[in-house]
């Protein structure tokens, strides 16, 4: 998986799930190729779409080694999905009747008999069981053993310029264990991870912003620069603070007291405690209390290299998420859960730790990948974790991506995942204008077009310039339309890919544009080789996700601490009311832009300055319009949003 983060020195940074009853297997369909057993059932989605006959390069060597995970379906996969829906739906009599982690395991988890049966089958096939958890059984062995176990042949396939292993036909399992098996992952070895296209300077090189700046939107007009859209434009803000964001999104007196928020990313910043404490003190945020910031980390890390997951590139992601949550919800308890790598398997483990130990009620996740890279087997495993969380009152918030409709990035219009899951809240992004006195002015959908200052300084070259970055959104090709979007999401979006309707992303949104971004503080390697704390402006839907998670912490406090859980049904039930800012791309009736000046070398003026104009509200083919849209969802939290979660007062009897 990749992080969804747009850094100020670059235009963009990176960050298929099943229908609503995810995890239900296609049972009772015999596999014609499974000669080693008369009764086998298919594991839908285990043959990747890229494993085509045209790309087939022949059978994988029988002696090649594999590592796979057999995910357990548990006792009642359909019942889990049904209960997750019921406890999340305000119109259901079961709404809010959450279960404890222990109750969830007893009611829906795999039984000892199921685990034993699956282990016996795998061992009989010649695979070695290397790990058993309540979610999966990990195995290793050679290709011939895997082929025997899963009733398929493994071939090598061309995928782009690389060659990867994958099943030649859909994997199957013996009917005797089919009820216990959700899916298998690892039969294909194509990358299932996110990589940073734009990494924070690890301990590499420091990054700093050049001025001039605006301290609030419009405070400093670029009078010496050319007009844009017929008028003088302001310089980009230096970076909004928590005080400004709290005012913009209606925090009021709420601080997130007694609410637990978890953050998942890959790896862990070694300086997070110092950086978060220094930042809070510098910007007037409440000081971190003892034991208010926790870390749950793996014993070992893998794939740390720059050509793999680039571990140090994730440090800034964690820093942004932790500092943004604390800035907006300063009394919330924050637990950072670091994954051992950016691989799906390790990120799933991090999410599972939150669920299995109920570490928090609200989980912020600023990472993802394109839907085209996701496979149904991985999607099923993610959705099972999200459902296990929902029945406990845990809600997951995922950034929607930083590449708009993804066409410029992948040549294909598509959404990001896991934000496309019907069981998570997908968070889109905006460009935010906060004025003098912390007054909310307006927002546009986040979408940037960039043009550079001409050599003579009298015009913008090829104005307004090319698309550089924007909030991810659009219509899924693989996930059915969830019930809570019906009647809110226009058919023109929901039915863009099928007549029956699909999931549309996002659900809600918040500040994301790095040109109207948030200031963070992080220890970086300075130009002279020393390490020191410094601050810079940052953006991306990796900012929007923790901001919304923090606002939800305020809302949970407002409802007396009662967990909100999976929030989408409640979020959509408030659609069309004044609790949301209905975001459009031209809130003032005119096109909008800001001027930005950057250091050419990223940290000082030695190599000169680069001046550009950044147009707002230009998100590829996506548009923020009146009502629901595929850039900002139902909108952003307005002044009454947090208070709308307060329980209704009971009427006295007379």
Q: Is the pLDDT of residue 31 over 50?
A: no
At 193, is the pLDDT very low, low, confident or very high (cuts 50, 70, 90)? Answer: low
Cα(first)–Cα(last) distance of the chain, in Å? 59
Per-residue pLDDT of 141-176, as tens digits, reads 999 999 999 999 999 999 888 999 999 999 999 999
CA atoms within 13 A on the CB side of 206: 21
* Whole-structure pTM value: 0.92
Q: Spell out the domain ranges in the chain.
A: 2-18+197-645
What SS3 string covers 450-507? Answer: EEEECCCCCCECCCCCEEEEECCCEEEEEEECCHHHCCCCCHHHHCCCCCCCEEEECC
Mean pLDDT, residues 181-209 = 67
Mean pLDDT, residues 345-371 = 97
Q: What is the DSSP string of 98-151?
A: ---HHHHHHHHSPPHHHHHHHHHHHHHTTPEEEEE-SSEEEEEEEHHHHHHHHT
Single out the residue of 239, 221, 236 nearest to residue 616, CA to CA: 236
Between 1 and 136, the more confident residue is 136
Q: Looking at residue 530, what is its pLDDT?
A: 87
Pairing state between β 609-616 and 592-599: antiparallel
CA Rg, the chain, in Å? 25
Q: Give the C-alpha separation, 76 to 591, whole Å.
A: 53
State both tokens at 562.
């009662």
| Residue 92: Cβ-neighbour burial (10 angstroms; 0-12, 13-18, 19+) | middle
Pairing state between β 502-505 and 474-480: antiparallel
State both tokens at 615.
């147009």
Q: CATH for 2-18+197-645, among 3.30.1370.160, 3.40.50.200, 3.40.50.11540, 2.40.110.10?
A: 3.40.50.200
Q: Is the pLDDT of residue 36 over 60?
A: no
Per-residue pLDDT of 249-296, as tens digits, reads 999 999 999 999 999 999 999 899 999 999 999 999 999 999 999 999
At 15, is the pLDDT very low, low, confident or very high (cuts 50, 70, 90)? Answer: very low
Per-residue pLDDT of 600-633, as tens digits, reads 999 999 999 999 999 999 999 999 999 999 999 9
Q: Is the pLDDT of residue 199 over 60?
A: no
């Amino acid at each position: 998986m990749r992080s969804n983060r747009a850094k100020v020195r670059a235009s963009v940074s990176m960050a298929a799930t099943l229908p609503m009853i995810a995890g239900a297997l296609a049972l009772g369909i015999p596999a014609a190729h499974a000669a080693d057993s008369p009764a086998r059932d298919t594991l839908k989605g285990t043959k990747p779409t890229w494993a085509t006959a045209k790309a087939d390069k022949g059978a994988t060597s029988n002696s090649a080694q594999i590592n796979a995970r057999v995910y357990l379906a548990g006792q009642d996969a359909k019942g889990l999905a049904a209960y997750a829906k019921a406890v999340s739906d305000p119109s259901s009599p079961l709404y809010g009747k959450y279960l404890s982690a222990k109750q969830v395991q007893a009611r829906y988890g795999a039984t000892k008999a199921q685990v034993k049966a699956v282990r016996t089958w795998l061992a009989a096939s010649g695979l070695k069981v290397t790990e058993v958890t309540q979610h999966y059984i990990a195995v290793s062995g050679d290709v011939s053993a895997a082929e025997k176990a899963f009733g398929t042949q493994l071939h090598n396939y061309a995928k782009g310029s690389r060659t990867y292993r994958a099943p030649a036909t859909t994997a199957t399992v013996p009917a005797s264990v089919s009820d216990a098996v959700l899916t298998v992952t690892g039969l294909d070895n194509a990358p299932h991870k996110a990589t940073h296209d734009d990494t924070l300077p690890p301990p590499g090189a420091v990054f700093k912003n050049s001025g001039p700046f605006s301290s609030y939107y419009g405070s400093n007009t670029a009078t010496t620069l050319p007009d844009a859209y017929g008028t003088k434009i302001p310089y980009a803000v230096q970076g909004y603070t928590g005080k400004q964001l709290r005012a913009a999104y209606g925090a009021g007196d709420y601080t997130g007291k007694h609410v637990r928020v978890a953050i998942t990313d890959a790896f862990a910043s070694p300086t997070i405690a110092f950086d978060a404490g220094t930042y809070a003190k510098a910007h007037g945020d409440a000081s971190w209390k003892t034991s208010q910031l926790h870390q749950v980390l793996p014993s070992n890390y893998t794939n740390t290299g720059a050509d793999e997951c680039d571990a140090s590139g994730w440090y800034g992601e964690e820093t942004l998420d932790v500092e943004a949550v604390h800035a907006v919800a300063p009394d919330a308890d924050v637990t950072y859960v670091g994954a051992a790598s950016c691989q799906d398997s390790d990120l799933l483990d991090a999410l599972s730790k939150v669920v299995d130990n109920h570490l928090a009620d609200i989980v912020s996740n600023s990472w993802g990948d394109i839907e085209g890279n996701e496979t149904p087997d991985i999607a099923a495993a993610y959705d099972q974790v999200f459902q296990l969380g929902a029945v406990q009152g845990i809600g997951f918030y995922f950034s929607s991506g930083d590449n708009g409709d993804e066409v410029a990035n992948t040549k294909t219009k598509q959404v990001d995942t896991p934000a496309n899951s019907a069981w998570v809240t997908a968070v889109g992004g905006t460009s935010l204008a906060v004025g003098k006195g912390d007054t909310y002015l307006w927002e546009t959908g986040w979408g940037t077009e960039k043009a550079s200052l001409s050599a003579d300084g009298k015009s913008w070259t090829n104005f307004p310039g090319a698309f550089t970055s924007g909030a991810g959104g659009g219509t899924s090709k693989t996930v059915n339309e969830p019930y809570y979007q019906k009647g809110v999401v226009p058919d023109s979006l929901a039915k863009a890919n099928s007549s029956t309707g699909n999931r549309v992303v996002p659900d809600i949104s918040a500040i994301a544009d790095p040109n109207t971004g948030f200031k963070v503080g992080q220890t970086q390697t300075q130009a002279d080789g020393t390490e020191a704390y410094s601050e810079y402006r940052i953006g991306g839907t990796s900012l929007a996700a923790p901001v919304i998670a923090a606002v939800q912490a305020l809302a949970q406090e407002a409802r007396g601490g009662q967990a909100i859980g999976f929030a989408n049904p409640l979020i959509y039930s408030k659609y069309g009311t004044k609790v949301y800012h209905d975001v459009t791309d031209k809130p003032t009736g005119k096109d909008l832009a800001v001027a930005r000046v950057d250091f050419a070398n990223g940290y000082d003026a030695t190599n000169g300055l680069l001046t550009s104009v950044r147009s707002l509200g230009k998100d590829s083919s996506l548009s923020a319009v009146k009502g629901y849209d595929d850039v900002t969802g139902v909108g952003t939290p307005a002044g009454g949003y947090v208070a709308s979660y307060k329980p209704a007062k009971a009427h006295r009897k007379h």
